[in-house]
Amino acid sequence: MRLIITRHGETEENKKGILQGHMQGKLTEAGLEQAKKLALRLKDEEIAAIYSSDLKRASDTAKEIAKYHPNAKLFFVKELREKDQGSLTGKLIKEIDWSKPRDTEKRELMFKRAKIILEKAYKNYKGQTVVFVSHGGLISVLMALLMNKPLEAIKKIECPIHTAISIFNIKDNNKHDVVFLNCSKHLE
């Protein structure tokens, strides 16, 4: 399976420095333009399915991609949601005291849901092209999973910019080929 992973477009909350977690988020004008440029870049791909986080900022991005792929199945799923930030959701990032204990989602749970959706897509679309539209934190988890890295490696994986794409060729033996990571040439 050919897997294209992308992050949603820029949101109003991103611009304000708000920790979104499971907030819906609203694409800015620039974010919508990013999504449209991404969709245009992917228009010639033979996409069988688009799996998107069910949060609005990702689903709005996925809908732009789907405009060029009317026959692709479009799924909005919780597994591709961003990390649940618990009581930190909606707070300004610069005002958060990261040294205090937090009630945020554990990496292990994110890893588990990333694995579930990856296995589901692979089972249903083996030999085809699938797009995942998600969020920075969950994409880092997916990257670690696809590159067979331990959970601790998530911290070292660069968070993709908005609508950057990464492509992997998924194989049965878990030795997946990385075609490229975090490419944003469509935004130039």
Annotation says 8 is catalytic:
yes
CA distance readout (Å), 94 to 12, 16, 19:
16, 10, 9
Catalytic hit among 10, 64, 79, 82:
82
Annotation says 69 is catalytic:
no
Scan for tokens 């009581």, then name that residue.
87
The conformation of residue 151, written as its DSSP 8-state character, comes to G
Give the span between the Cα atoms of 8 and 60, in whole angstroms: 8
Give the span between the Cα atoms of 27 and 36, in whole angstroms: 12
Give the span between the Cα atoms of 6 and 86, in whole angstroms: 24
Residues noted as catalytic:
8, 82
